[in-house]
Amino acid sequence: MKVGQFSFAVLIVLAPAAYAQSSVTLYGVLDSGVLYQTTAAASFAPNARNLGHTWQLKDGGIFSSLWGLKGSEDIGGGYKINFRLQGSFTSTNGKPGLSDTPGATALFNQYASIGVSGPFGTIDAGRQIVPMIYAMADTDARGAQYFGSILTAWLGLNQAAGWPGTNTNAPIGALYDSNALVYVSPKFYGASVSLEFAPGGTPGHFQGGTRESAVLKYSNGGLNLAAVYYNGHDTNPYPANYPAAAAVPATGVANNRFYYLGALYTVNGFSLSASYSIGKNPAKSGSVDFEMISGGLGYQVNPFLKITSGYYYLKDRNHSENQSSEIALGAEYSVSKATRAYAQIGYVNNKGTMNQTIVYGTPVAPGVSTTAAMVGIRHTF
């Protein structure tokens, strides 16, 4: 055999071994159901009118439909290089979700990150779901679902603060952050820390558009505890009347702050949760200053059936007439390891200018109450 042929044969034999420590996974979720809501609006604008009931096929009764790629490479010594690409889409029409820029779509609108993990923990860089959302989900009996949960209540704070619903960096906290660096520590006696810093990338302005957050979590013996601090600068640059108005230039002012304390305790199949949080714009504390209180109860009836409920109260600390309370009840049944059927019902009582919604992505007019019910199916692959 010639030297060149021999070398090629050796490469073929060794190639699988060289990449044996790498892995890539394609995964996804389809979540779709039928939704009925007694009142609805066309947008989250503060002047939106009640347009009456809505009856629709809706994506995301539990969480959004999504697909993604994730992988890791073992580089030895307990260290790995990891990547994740993940994007949500609407299962009813196939359209992708929104990025940070209103009106612009992004293929990987939830995750586009690369990082390293090891004995020290993990560090990831890129667009990511922020650590505070995981902390809230871990301390909510409803698990921060898209229907009646701590997530929809938190979005209610943002709507009350003037969020137009077209920007993932909302005025109170954030669901996603682009250009983010996130560190997650290993667990130490049940406790872990997550730290985030996202450079703003504004020329000549170090604090323009920056975000930082810290999350402390504890999990042991059925008890979950979480404390969250989130602070942002210029993190909602588009006003409520977008696209009629231009984007607000970066100032570096801290205008986005969120504090959260939550707990969830599970014993003998029962789960009890409670939380208290404050969301404000420090630069305009006289107009944007809200508090949120939640409580939840769940029961794992058997390995297949779970029932959860939650109560979520919002209050404008500057104007006591602006209040909102929501109650939600849901049941999930595992048809198989990959498929769940669910049924949910909720009611929200909005007063003053509050427009808390029951279902993520289905607006309610300010001061208008509503009832919603949804049945659907969720399949993972």
Domain ranges in the chain are 22-380
What is the per-residue burial (b if ≥16 Cβ within 10 Å, else e) of 253-291?
ebbbbbbbbbbbbbeeeebebbbebbbbbeeeeeebbbb
Assess contact for 85 and 51: CB atoms under 8 A: no
SS3 content of the chain, % helix, strand, coil (to 5): 10, 50, 40
The CA-to-CA distance between both ends of the chain, in Å, stands at: 47
How many Cβ atoms sit within 10 Å of the Cβ of residue 205?
A: 16
pLDDT at 163: 79
pLDDT at 180: 96
CATH (residue range 22-380):
2.40.160.10
**What is the residue whose two structure tokens read 């490479």?**
73
Q: Give me the amino acid identity at 111.
A: Y
Helices 131-138/150-160 angle, 10° precision: 130
One digit per residue, pLDDT tens: the chain, 381 residues? 444 444 434 333 344 444 446 899 999 999 999 999 999 999 888 889 999 999 999 999 999 999 999 999 999 999 999 999 999 999 999 988 776 666 678 889 999 999 999 999 999 999 999 999 999 999 999 999 999 999 999 999 998 988 777 777 788 998 999 999 999 999 999 999 999 999 988 888 888 889 999 999 999 999 999 999 999 998 776 665 666 656 667 788 888 999 999 999 999 999 999 999 999 999 888 889 999 999 999 999 999 999 999 999 999 999 999 999 999 999 999 999 999 999 999 999 999 999 999 999 899 999 999 999 999 999 999
pLDDT at 201: 82
Q: Which two tokens stand for residue 273?
A: 């949760």
Measured CA to CA, the distance from residue 177 to residue 197 in angstroms comes to: 9
Its pTM stands at 0.90
